[in-house]
Amino acid sequence: IIVFDEECFQGRRHEFTSECCNVMEFGFETVRSLRVESGAWVGYEHASYQGQQFVLERGEYPQCDAFGGSNAYHIERLTSFRPIACANHRECRMTIFERENFLGRKGELSDDYPSLQAMGWCNNEVGSLRIQSGAFVCYQYPGYRGYQYIMECDRHCGEYKHFREFGSHCQTPQIQSIRRIQQ
Distance in Å, CB of 94 to a copy of itself, minimum: 17
Distance in Å, CB of 170 to a copy of itself, minimum: 16
- Render 4-68 in DSSP notation, one character per residue: EEEGGGEEEEEE-SS-BS-GGGGT-S---EEEE-SS-EEEEEEGGGEEEEEEE-SEEE-SHHHHS
Mark 108-137 with x for binding to a copy of itself (rule: CB under 8 A) and - for no binding: ----x-xxxxx-----x-------------
Interface with a copy of itself includes 67 (CB under 8 A)? yes
Angle at 68 between CA 63 and CA 72, to 5 degrees: 125
- What are the CB-based long-range contacts (under 8 Å, 24+) for 160-166? 160/128, 160/129, 160/130, 160/131, 161/100, 161/101, 161/102, 161/128, 162/100, 162/101, 162/127, 162/128, 163/100, 163/126, 163/127, 163/128, 166/138
Tell me the residue type at 56: L
Which of 28, 32, 68, 167 lies at the binding interface for a copy of itself (CB under 8 A)? 68
Distance in Å, CB of 73 to a copy of itself, minimum: 8
Site for a copy of itself, residues 82 to 111, rule: CB under 8 A: none
DSSP letter, residue 155: S
Interface with a copy of itself includes 66 (CB under 8 A)? yes
Interface with a copy of itself includes 182 (CB under 8 A)? yes
Interface with a copy of itself includes 58 (CB under 8 A)? yes
Distance in Å, CB of 39 to a copy of itself, minimum: 9
CA distances, 132 to each of 64, 86, 108, 172 (Å): 33, 11, 10, 23
Which of 11, 22, 24, 60 lies at the binding interface for a copy of itself (CB under 8 A)? 60
Interface with a copy of itself includes 56 (CB under 8 A)? yes
Which of 4, 61, 136, 166 lies at the binding interface for a copy of itself (CB under 8 A)? 61
Q: Interface residues with a copy of itself (CB under 8 A)?
A: 36, 54-61, 63, 65-68, 70-74, 112, 114-118, 124, 140-146, 176-177, 179, 181-183
